[in-house]
Structure 1
């Protein structure tokens, strides 16, 4: 047993009252009763709304903010985000259906992805959303479908620039990539678009994700704007829209420093002034997912067993990697690190112990927290995994071992 002063196990965005975590102003144990079972994800709508307001306050006034649905495509979340952002970006026909059920105008919805099926392209054309072209073949397919249906397709070209977003969790540009069309091929692509009956909108440049380095993000944004200006001379029509992607990260692990969003906004203001001088009609868009919703969500599971094996204490919970692959360390991590975790109904308990929290799957990969110091917990207590509003349930192998499904609630 470890006796120590209380540690900061709670994240600042979620308050604590009477020893219990509050989510959306609701005590965790009451929320669990309301949901009816564990495990579940809970997303705080007020935190999402505040994050959008914070981004608007830090960014240039005329910048458009789009929500990248792949971060969290729960219909209720997308409905909420559609009311507070300027557009939606999606990556499948399934996400398209959710987006079109919102009040967002089709003209402010775009679709990306390197492997769009003909049926998906046809659906997008009929819906009137903008398709981000990722290859020569896709361009020709879109043109054929547009001619066949008699509906003019709205298109942008996704560029794979020569530069990369430094210090990002996943790099999606620079070098050989499956995403977009290499920048050196753009003049030929744009020349081909001139000969086709397509409505050309502009460019999409997404360089990387999960970046906490303001200087790196600003550098990539400046290079994206400069590249767009250079290529504008080859465009079939004036450049209407420039989506410079996102990549804004959130802190997950000890030592992570939150992104200085104000620094990014100041640098982008200067870059956009340069763009406006060269291309005054161009609308600039940033595409954010994780940064808008990631810190607004928690994953909650319940302890169903507690055991000691050769001196190591294990807490066994009713959830695990099949619901939250990222927290298990099997979604992009090279060396596993613990997500921030708490015992949600024992937030003020000072007596602590070192425990490993494991899921209910029959695999040693099913680890929720490894050798973590937490308040002493017992069977029936709630384990809370913070930073779970993005790339959680839908980014996990939910069918693995046919375990029970997980609930999701927006509060």
Structure 2
């Protein structure tokens, strides 16, 4: 038997069913009209942002990384909660503009921005986190053609990384950003060429649970930013420090000690060197803001036994929840937090494999998991589904189509 990951706090049962936003899952599915269904909880998002505001120094803003969950209702809800938005495509720019977000609150990162994307961003006043000298040259040329100074920050590839992070975005050769030793000359060039200088973006990694590692990385980021600002010889208007805060997915994972991270960052901020005295600071978070707010609901459509192993076959699967299937960056597959949503809180009585509807052995949502006995028609809940779920999965695979989504 294999354990499932820890179910996030804040979920409860009503009449034996999982409730999200105070409503039973069967009601939510009826409202959506179908399964599979992603449900995103406003209450969880609000609580997470409030906890960050309490823990972090007031000077440090919060940016939402739209890539984590670009559902239009989620972006719209975030508009009143966070200070800025980080996008990775012109498609995400369109979503932000569609819900009325001021482009001045938006920054655009990504190592392969097309000319049409650069033009769209420059035209409305989005900050470009330039990732190479070539990209900066294209942005300057487009700005000259438009008669508009591009707002340019430089994404830095630091020599250090976020230790223990699930995905390392800095340290050594990387496709992301400009190597730190090349940044001062490039910054001076774009400033001299007439760009509106917006500062630096230093992102070292993501999905870290160690407070010590996050504290060390944030300290390194601030030290590097101060050195680069001095070498550039110009004030640093803004520093995006990246994020890196992870969430517990698997057995044995523990939440980030946010209070420790915030206290250490406050100490650093209080003793910043003069060169950063007027710099606007922010951290960029995606998964940490919305990951635990999402639940993926899929219906059991068959129950079968093969060589003594019980399988619960659902109408969902890896085409919506690639990460939960273990096929999105993990080496050893482990069970995400999951439950029988329509028997929530019932004692487990059997060991089951929960699988999807696709004709591939990779389509697994839970292996050898202890669950209460479930039947055809019951709903399965996969938690921690609010980030890198619906849009980070191959929804077109085998023609099953996308899942429904709602914010409650």
TM over 0.5: yes
Q: CA deviation at 1:376?
A: 0.6
Does 1:68 pair with 2:61? no
Q: What is the SS of the residue equivalent to 2:349?
A: strand
**Structure 1: stretches of 5+ with no match in the other structure:** none
Contact 1:251 1:257 in 2 (8 A): yes
Corresponding residue of 1:31 = 28
| Displacement over 6 Å in runs of 4+ | none
Match of 1:94 in 2: 91
Equivalent residue runs for 1:1-400 within 5 Å: 10-235=7-232, 237-275=234-272, 277-400=274-397
- 8 Å Cα contact 1:169/1:210 also seen in 2: yes
The offset of 1:272, in angstroms, is 1.2
> How far off its partner does 1:236 sit?
5.8
Distance 2:382 2:81 in 1: 26
Separation in structure 2 between the aligned mates of residue 370 and residue 233 of structure 1, nearest angstrom: 54
Alpha-carbon distance in 2 for matches of 1:8, 1:241: 38
Task: Give the Cα separation in 2 of the matches to 1:9 and 1:346.
Answer: 17
Distance in 2 of aligned mates of 1:50 and 1:152: 39
How much has 1:208 moved relative to structure 2? 0.3
Structure 2: distance between partners of 1:96 and 1:404: 24
1:238 Cα offset (Å):
1.2
| TM-score, length of structure 1 as denominator length | 0.96
SS in 2 for 1:29: helix
User: Which secondary structure does the structure 2 equivalent of 1:350 belong to?
Assistant: coil
Q: 1:9 to 1:262 in 2, by over 3 A?
A: closer
Q: TM-score, normalised by structure 2?
A: 0.97
SS at match of 2:93: helix
After TM superposition, the structure 1 stretch with the greater mean CA deviation from structure 2, 359-368 or 236-245, is 236-245
Decide whether the 8 Å contact of 2:5 with 2:248 is kept in 1: no
Partner of 2:367: helix, strand, or coil?
Answer: strand
Cα distance in 1 for partners of 2:314, 2:326 equals 17
- Higher alpha-carbon deviation: 166-175 or 274-283: 274-283
- Contact persistence 2:226–2:273 (CA under 8 A): no
**Partner SS for 1:211:** coil
> What's the CA shift for 1:274?
2.3
**Given the alignment, which residue of 390, 402, 405 partners 2:399?**
402
Task: Say if 2:241 and 2:284, in contact at 8 Å, map to a contact too.
Answer: yes
Residue 327 of structure 1 deviates from its aligned partner by 0.4
Q: 2:299·2:314 contact (CA, 8 Å) conserved in 1?
A: yes
Pair 9,106 (structure 1): closer, same or farther in 2 beyond 3 Å: closer
* Count of matched residue pairs: 406
What's the secondary structure of 1:275's corresponding residue? coil
Q: What does the per-residue CA deviation read over 1:53-74, in whole Å, with 9 as the maximum and x for residues that have no partner?
A: 1000000011110000000000
Q: Contact 1:10–1:347 (CA<8 Å) still a contact in 2?
A: no
